[in-house]
């Protein structure tokens, strides 16, 4: 058996089309375009590439893009002052501070400074709390993109066994919260879990967010399970995921790397920006977005 490949790139393109339609409706109703501010500190080449592709996607969706590039030695106070200005700027609906930040800057201090209603990454503890308690908020882009792919394959997620590998605040924890909200039976495993394989073997849905190339072995996968590979690892062999490619011979459906979750992350960022704009302006937005 060979798994169906989940085409995240194509799915992301359809989501970006719907976002563009919603952005145009917003512009008509609110008299201005939705605006996304992206802040990049330092010149890490990979981060630079992401920031450029976010800027392009923002403009292609009919939204305003504000890029702020600061030098690697910028002080924490100066970065926080920029966040304060973006919070106060009415043309800015979404604020994204590219992570990781240089070591001399306290990431937490910067993220908690962002207005939660402009926090399109969904990283602010207020948005984490809203997600955990079922309140309307902004949901982290990568896990929400994974959920959209999963819902496409499993219109009924309720009752399915889901195993999330990894417990970071930006992927694993919000992914588990979203699956729980969908009434999956959710297990989160991490580096201190005694028998990772034993948990993964029971799963109808596996989401791998570990950061170790090829970590998830084909033998761990229950035949027919759906596998979402969040991993983005740069190796000598190129960009690889957290799942061994052999898993495609066992799974029912699997996301490729590249072309799986990565493009969804950017498309959901666009989606979150229009949603944030509509809520801030008090205008309607397509509830299916
Ligand atoms: N496609 C996209 O858009 C995105 C992709 N990524 C990618 O996803 C991956 C995960 O990212 P992120 O969550 O930020 O990574 P983190 O490093 O923050 O978290 C990794 C998690 O994996 C767990 N882990 C590490 N080793 C093991 C092990 N041997 N067994 C079980 N669990 C283990 C860690 O456990 P513990 O908590 O105990 O340390 C931790 O919870 C990376 O490859 C990253 O590049 C990330 C964001 C967006
Ligand atoms: N505040 C913040 N928010 C983020 O969302 C954020 C961040 N910081 N820091 C870095 C990570 C990583 N991330 C990715 C986005 C898109 C792809 C993506 O589009 N990947 C393509 C391939 C791109 C390539 O070839 O390099 C793919 O998987 O097909 C990957 C990774 C967002 N992140
Ligand atoms: Mg730091």
Give me the tens of pLDDT residue by residue for the chain, a chain 289 residues long. 799 999 999 999 999 999 999 999 999 999 999 999 999 999 888 888 889 999 999 999 999 999 999 999 999 999 999 999 999 999 999 999 999 999 999 999 999 999 999 999 999 999 999 999 999 999 999 999 999 999 999 999 999 999 999 999 999 999 999 999 999 999 999 999 999 999 999 999 999 999 999 999 999 999 999 999 999 999 999 999 999 999 999 999 999 999 999 999 999 999 999 999 999 999 999 999 9
* 199 and 108 part of one domain: no
In terms of residue numbers, what domain contains 48? 31-116
Q: Is 173 a member of any domain? A: yes
Tell whether 41 and 87 lie within a shared domain. Answer: yes
Whether residues 91 and 43 share a domain: the answer is: yes
Query: Which of 65, 83, 116 is at the close of a domain?
Result: 116
149 and 227 inside one domain:
yes
Among residues 116, 131, 149, which one ends one of the domains?
116
Mutate which of 37, 143, 144, 232 for ligand 2 pocket (most atoms within 8 A of beta carbon): 232
Q: What is the pLDDT of residues 65-121, one digit of tens each?
A: 999 999 999 999 999 999 999 999 999 999 999 999 999 999 999 999 999 999 999
* C-alpha distance from residue 207 to each of 86, 90, 231 (Å): 34, 37, 10
Q: How far apart are CA 259 and CA 6, in angstroms?
A: 9
133 part of a folded domain: no
Rounded (10°) CA dihedral 173, 124, 154, 268: -140
152-159: long-range contacts at Cβ-Cβ below 8 A with a sequence spacing of 24 or more? 152/6, 152/11, 153/6, 153/226, 153/253, 154/205, 154/226, 157/182, 157/183, 157/184, 157/205, 158/182, 158/183, 158/184, 159/183, 159/184, 159/185
Task: Establish if 129 belongs to a structural domain.
Answer: no
Nearest atom of ligand 1 to the alpha carbon of 260: 1
Are the beta carbons of 276 and 269 closer than 8 angstroms? no
Residues around the ion ligand 3 (C-beta < 5 A): 101, 107
In a domain, 12, yes or no: no
Query: Nearest bound ligand to CA 79?
Result: 3
DSSP state of 3: P
ipTM: 0.98
Q: 154 and 83 in one domain?
A: no
d(CA 125, CA 131): 10
Q: Do both 111 and 210 map to the same domain?
A: no
The token pair at 67 is 């890029």
* pLDDT of res. 46: 84
Q: Which pLDDT value is given to residue 112?
A: 98
| Predicted confidence (pLDDT) per residue in 162-186, tens digit | 999 999 999 999 999 999 999 999 9
> Structural domain tally of the chain?
2
Ligand nearest the Cα of residue 8 is 2
The answer on 145 and 257 residing in a single domain is yes
Q: What is the mean pLDDT of the chain?
A: 97
**21 occurs within a structural domain:** no
| 220 and 166 within one domain | yes
List Cα–Cα distances, 255 to 74, 114, 200, 241, 275, in angstroms.
38, 32, 17, 9, 26
Pocket of ligand 2 (CB under 6 A): 50, 96-99, 121, 141, 232, 239, 257-259, 262-263, 265-266
**Assigned token pair, 61:** 């969706």
For residue 86, the domain's CATH number is 3.40.50.10860
165 plus 224 within the same structural domain: yes
Residues 6 or more apart whose CB falls under 8 angstroms from that of 188 comprise 163, 164, 166, 167, 172, 173, 176
The Cα 3–Cα 255 span in angstroms is: 9
Burial class (CB in 10 A: 0-12, 13-18, 19+), 9: middle
Could you give the maximum distance between any two Cα atoms of the chain, in Å?
A: 56
CA distances from 240 to 211, 229, 232 (A): 10, 10, 6
How many whole angstroms separate alpha carbon 115 and alpha carbon 140? 15
User: Do residues 257 and 184 both lie within one domain?
Assistant: yes
Residue 20 domain-assigned?
no
Residues 164 and 248 in one domain: yes
Query: What pLDDT is attached to residue 150?
Result: 98
CB 30 within 8 A of CB 277: yes
Q: Where are the beta strands (DSSP E) in the chain?
A: 4-5, 35-41, 64-70, 94-97, 161-165, 185-189, 205-208, 226-229, 233-235, 238-240, 253-254
User: For position 248, which CATH number holds?
Assistant: 3.40.50.720
**Domain assignment present for 210:** yes
Residues 193 and 86 in one domain: no
- Residue 239: inside a domain, yes or no? yes
């Amino acid at each position: 058996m060979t798994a169906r490949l989940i085409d995240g790139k194509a799915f992301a393109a359809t989501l970006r089309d719907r976002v563009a339609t919603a952005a145009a409706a917003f512009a008509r109703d609110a008299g201005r375009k939705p605006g996304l501010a992206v802040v990049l500190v330092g010149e890490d080449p990979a981060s630079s590439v992401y920031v450029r592709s976010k800027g392009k996607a923002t403009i292609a969706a009919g939204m305003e893009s504000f890029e702020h590039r600061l030098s690697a030695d910028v002080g924490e106070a100066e970065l926080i002052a920029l966040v304060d200005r973006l919070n106060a700027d009415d043309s800015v609906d979404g604020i994204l501070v590219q992570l990781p930040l240089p070591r001399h800057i306290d990431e937490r201090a910067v993220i908690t400074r962002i207005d939660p209603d402009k926090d399109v990454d969904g990283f602010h503890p207020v948005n984490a709390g809203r997600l955990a308690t079922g309140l309307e908020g902004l949901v982290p882009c990568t896990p929400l993109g994974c959920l959209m792919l999963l819902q496409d394959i499993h219109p009924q997620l309720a009752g399915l066994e889901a195993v999330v590998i990894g417990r970071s605040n930006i992927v694993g924890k919000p992914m588990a919260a979203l699956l729980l909200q969908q009434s999956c039976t959710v297990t989160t495993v991490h580096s201190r879990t005694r028998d990772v394989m034993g948990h993964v073997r029971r799963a109808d849905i596996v989401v791998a967010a570990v950061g170790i190339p090829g970590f998830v072995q084909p033998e761990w996968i229950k035949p027919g399970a759906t596998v979402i590979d969040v991993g983005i690892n740069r190796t000598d062999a190129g960009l690889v995921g957290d799942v061994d490619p052999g898993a495609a011979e066992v799974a029912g459906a699997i996301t490729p790397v590249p072309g799986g979750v990565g493009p969804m992350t950017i498309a959901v960022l666009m989606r979150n920006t229009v949603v944030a704009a509509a809520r801030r302006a008090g205008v309607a937005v397509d509830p299916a977005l």
